[in-house]
Amino acid sequence: MDDLESAKREVVEGVEGEARERLQAALDMSLAMNPLTPDHHFYVDQGTNARLRIAAIEIGRKLVGAGALSEPEDVVYLRYNELRRLMTDPGAFDAKDLVSDRRDAREEAYEKRPPAWLGTATKGALAFPYAGLWGFPERFYAGEPATTGEVRGLAASPGVVEGPARFVASLEEFDQVQEGEILVCRMTNPAWVVLFTKISGLVTEAGGAVSHPAVVAREFGIPAVVGTGNAGERIKTGDRIRVNGATGVVDILG
């Protein structure tokens, strides 16, 4: 709290009159909104979807009772007009077979990893104001790893840590994370913050210097490298790795 009060005083220091009043008002507004920032993913972006999902799953339960679906959550594999048709007539088409095909297609797509780049990128495109969130242009100019036992990404939170890696693909695997392990994942969101109290380092496939994993890692003082692109393919649970959050290099030690 003392650090915060000191920072607030430093911001307005030397500013007088009407300009100080406007600056103070902007500062107060910013401080009031800051707590919302890490939670917006849940409360703004996903709030509507969450409520729609509750209604959809309840429809799914009724369709299971009618014999049209095998599980209530199968309803999410149906398109809007398909669902309307099925609600009117549960025997209108073979929904179970359709859901099975789409589930298989989703699982196949989930395993595909897109290339880092398609086509060419101009200097102007790389300098786009919001590009820093995704690690551009740094990722574009990063080049290939110098050694086969090296994964390169973006420096996100300074420090060097060495320890066992733990690859986590979803929230269901959180309970597998052990104290002092280095978390390797595709990306984080506010739900992953609970792991930051246990891990000693972080490596992500996506993100840039101002992305969620980078910001939270700095807040917790955890060395982190983000935007590696393929860390999940190169690093397996149990591998001993060294994370250098100042250089953006992760060494796979064995």
How is residue 240 written in tokens?
A: 């001993």
Per-residue three-class SS string for 230-243: CHHHHCCCCCEEEE
Average pLDDT over residues 110-116: 76
Band of pLDDT at residue 104, cut at 50, 70 and 90: very high
**What does the CA dihedral 170, 172, 178, 181 come to, rounded to 10 degrees?**
0
pLDDT tens for each residue of 167-198: 999 999 999 999 999 999 999 988 899 999 99
Q: Give the highest mean pLDDT range of 20-24, 99-103, 152-156.
A: 99-103
pLDDT for the residue numbered 129: 60
Average pLDDT over residues 30-51: 73
Band of pLDDT at residue 39, cut at 50, 70 and 90: low
CA distance 159 to 246: 6
CB 85 within 8 A of CB 63: no
pTM of the full structure? 0.65
Average pLDDT over residues 116-130: 69
87 phi and psi angles, rounded to 5 deg: -65, -35
- Active site members: 212
In this structure, what DSSP letter does residue 4 have?
Answer: H
CB 240 within 8 A of CB 164: yes
Residue type, 48: T
Average pLDDT over residues 52-73: 96
pLDDT tens for each residue of 14-28: 999 999 999 999 999
pLDDT tens for each residue of 205-214: 988 888 889 9
What size, in residues, is the chain? Answer: 254
